[in-house]
C-alpha cells in the first residue's frame, strides 16, 4: 500500500561536509514530490537515506506512522530508479522487468500481463527478448523505470531518471511517468536539477540549496511566490536588482528606489528598515511598457537597449540607468507596435510582482 513519508529533522554529515542539513517535510500519500536543486545540494544523499542505503547522522524517517530507520532497504518496498542503478546483464528485458513480480510470487499470467503493460508504456515491446548489452543507454534506462514501477511499490524513488535520454524520449517519458503515477497513485519522490521537469511533473517541489530546503510549494507558487532570493533566481527567468528601502507603509507595501533612481512599490520579506539595501525580483513578463507621458505610479523609466523578436514573444532589454539592464518579455500580438531601440519608455509593474528580499545586492 502506498504511504505517506515524513522526514523529521534529518541531517547527514560526511566528515566536515554537511550534505543534508536539518531537513523537515511530509509527503502525502500518492503525492508526486520533487527535490530540485543544483549539483551537490544533497538531493541524492536525501533519497538514499529514504531508500535505506545510507543512515542519517540525526533525525528520523517514517513511512506512514512507522519510523523506518532500522528497516533494511529490501524491506521498505520502495521502487528505485537511481543514477547508475544497473539492470541485470544476464537477464532479458522481459525478465529484468518481471524480476520483482517473480520474487513476490505472482502468477505467470499476472506477470505476463503486467510486464507487457510496462513494455508498452516504455516502448520496448519489440525488444523484450534482448539483453541489456544489446540496448542503447536510453533503452536501458527505460528498463530500469519499468522494473521499478511494475511492482507497485509503497514509495517510488527516482534520481534523475531521464537525464541520459534524448529530448524526445525525455518529454515522452515524463508525461508517461506522471500519468502512470496518477493512475496507480504511488507516492513518488523525484530528484532532478531540471526546473522545467520539476514544474511540469510535480504536485509539490522542494527547492534545495547547500543541504537545506529553501521552499516547499506547488509549482505555480514556487514560480510566482518565491520565498527566498535563491528561489527567485533559481526558478525561471527573473530580474534581480539591488535597491534601497525608502519607507514601508502600514498596508505592508514598501517603497523602494531602483538603480537609476526609479521608485516603485513592492512586497517584502524580512527587515525593511528605511535606508537599508535589498534585492528585488521582477519577472520579465510582469512588466508592461507604455509611452513616457503615462502616470508614474508603480512605474519607472528605461531606454530600450535591445529587442529580440522570438515569434510568439518579444524580449526587450532596457537600460534603467546606473549600468543596470532589465529584461521585459511581451506577448507578441498581431498589429502590435514595435518599440524603438533607443526610445525611452515607462515601465509599469504591479506592486505584487515586485518582491523585496532582505539580502544585500548582488552584482
Binding site for ligand ATP (CB under 6 A): 14, 17, 19, 37, 39-45, 193
User: DSSP letter string over 286-340?
Assistant: GEEEE-TTS--TTEEEEEEEEEEE-SSEEEEEEEEETTEEEEEEEE--TTPPPP-
Q: How far apart are the first and last CA of the chain?
A: 51
Cα→Cα distances 330→230, 287, 310, Å? 25, 8, 10
Task: Collapse the DSSP code of 254 into the 3-class scheme (helix H, G, I; strand E, B; otherwise coil) and give the result.
Answer: strand
Closest CA to 230 of 45, 324, 351, 357: 357
Q: Which does 14 bind (CB under 5 to 8 A by kind): Mg ion, ligand ATP, none?
A: ligand ATP
Q: Least distance (Å) from ligand ATP to the CB of residue 37?
A: 6
Instruction: Compare residues 17 and 273 and give the one whose CB is closer to ligand ATP.
Output: 17
Instruction: Compare residues 42 and 153 and give the one whose CB is closer to ligand ATP.
Output: 42
Residue written as grid cell 511492482:
151
User: What are the residues whose beta carbons fall under 8 Å from the beta carbon of 116, sequence distance 6 or more?
Assistant: 125
Compute the radius of gyration of the chain from its Cα atoms.
Answer: 25
Q: Least distance (Å) from Mg ion to the CB of residue 41?
A: 9
Instruction: Compare residues 18 and 267 and give the one whose CB is closer to ligand ATP.
Output: 18
Q: Least distance (Å) from ligand ATP to the CB of residue 10?
A: 12
The x, y and z cell numbers of residue 62, run together, are 517514517
Q: Which does 193 bind (CB under 5 to 8 A by kind): Mg ion, ligand ATP, none?
A: ligand ATP
Q: Least distance (Å) from ligand ATP to the CB of residue 219?
A: 19
Instruction: Compare residues 116 and 193 and give the one whose CB is closer to ligand ATP.
Output: 193
Q: Least distance (Å) from Mg ion to the CB of residue 193?
A: 8
User: d(Cα 345, Cα 335) in Å, to the nearest integer?
Assistant: 19
User: d(Cα 57, Cα 258) in Å, to the nearest integer?
Assistant: 45
What secondary structure letter does DSSP report for 51? H
Residue written as grid cell 510568439:
312
**What residues does 207 pair with on adjacent strands?**
36, 215
Instruction: Compare residues 208 and 326 and give the one whose CB is closer to Mg ion.
Output: 208
Instruction: Compare residues 37 and 260 and give the one whose CB is closer to ligand ATP.
Output: 37
Task: Collapse the DSSP code of 268 into the 3-class scheme (helix H, G, I; strand E, B; otherwise coil) and give the result.
Answer: strand
Q: Least distance (Å) from Mg ion to the CB of residue 67?
A: 25
Residues that bind Mg ion (CB under 5 A): 44
Q: Least distance (Å) from ligand ATP to the CB of residue 5?
A: 18
Instruction: Compare residues 41 and 50 and give the one whose CB is closer to ligand ATP.
Output: 41
Q: Which does 19 bind (CB under 5 to 8 A by kind): Mg ion, ligand ATP, none?
A: ligand ATP
Amino acid at each position: 500500500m502506498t504511504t505517506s513519508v515524513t522526514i523529521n529533522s534529518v541531517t547527514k554529515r560526511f566528515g566536515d561536509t554537511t550534505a543534508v542539513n536539518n531537513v523537515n517535510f511530509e509527503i502525502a500519500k500518492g503525492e508526486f514530490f520533487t527535490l530540485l536543486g543544483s549539483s551537490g545540494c544533497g538531493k541524492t544523499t536525501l533519497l538514499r537515506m529514504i531508500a535505506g542505503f545510507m543512515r542519517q547522522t540525526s533525525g528520523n524517517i517514517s513511512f506512514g506512522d512507522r519510523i523506518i530507520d532500522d528497516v533494511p532497504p529490501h524491506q521498505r518496498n520502495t521502487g528505485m530508479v537511481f543514477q547508475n542503478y544497473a539492470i541485470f546483464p544476464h537477464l532479458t528485458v522481459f525478465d529484468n522487468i518481471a524480476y520483482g513480480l517473480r520474487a513476490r510470487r505472482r502468477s505467470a499470467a499476472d506477470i505476463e500481463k503486467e510486464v507487457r503493460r510496462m513494455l508498452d508504456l516504455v516502448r520496448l515491446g519489440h525488444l523484450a527478448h534482448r539483453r541489456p548489452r544489446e540496448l542503447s543507454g536510453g533503452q536501458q534506462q527505460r528498463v530500469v523505470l519499468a522494473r521499478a514501477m511494475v511492482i507497485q511499490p509503497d514509495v517510488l524513488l527516482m534520481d534523475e531518471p531521464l537525464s541520459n535520454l534524448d529530448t524526445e524520449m525525455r518529454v515522452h517519458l515524463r508525461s508517461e511517468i506522471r500519468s502512470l503515477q496518477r493512475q496507480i497513485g504511488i507516492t513518488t519522490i523525484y530528484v532532478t536539477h531540471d526546473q522545467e521537469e520539476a514544474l511540469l511533473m510535480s504536485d509539490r517541489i522542494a527547492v534545495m540549496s547547500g543541504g537545506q530546503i529553501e521552499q516547499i510549494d506547488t509549482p505555480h507558487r514556487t514560480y510566482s511566490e518565491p520565498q527566498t532570493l535563491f528561489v527567485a533566481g533559481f526558478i525561471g527567468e527573473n530580474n534581480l536588482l539591488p535597491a534601497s528601502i525608502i519607507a514601508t507603509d502600514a498596508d505592508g507595501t514598501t517603497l523602494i528606489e531602483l538603480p537609476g533612481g526609479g521608485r516603485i512599490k513592492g512586497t517584502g520579506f524580512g527587515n525593511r528598515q528605511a535606508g537599508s539595501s535589498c534585492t528585488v525580483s521582477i519577472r520579465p513578463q510582469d512588466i508592461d511598457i507604455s509611452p513616457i507621458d503615462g502616470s508614474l505610479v508603480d512605474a519607472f523609466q528605461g531606454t530600450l537597449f535591445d529587442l529580440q523578436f522570438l515569434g510568439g514573444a518579444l524580449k526587450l532589454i532596457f537600460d534603467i540607468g546606473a549600468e543596470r539592464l532589465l529584461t521585459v518579455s511581451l506577448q507578441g500580438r498581431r498589429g502590435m507596435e514595435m518599440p524603438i531601440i533607443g526610445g525611452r519608455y515607462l515601465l509599469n509593474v504591479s506592486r505584487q510582482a515586485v518582491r523585496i528580499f532582505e539580502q544585500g545586492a548582488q552584482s
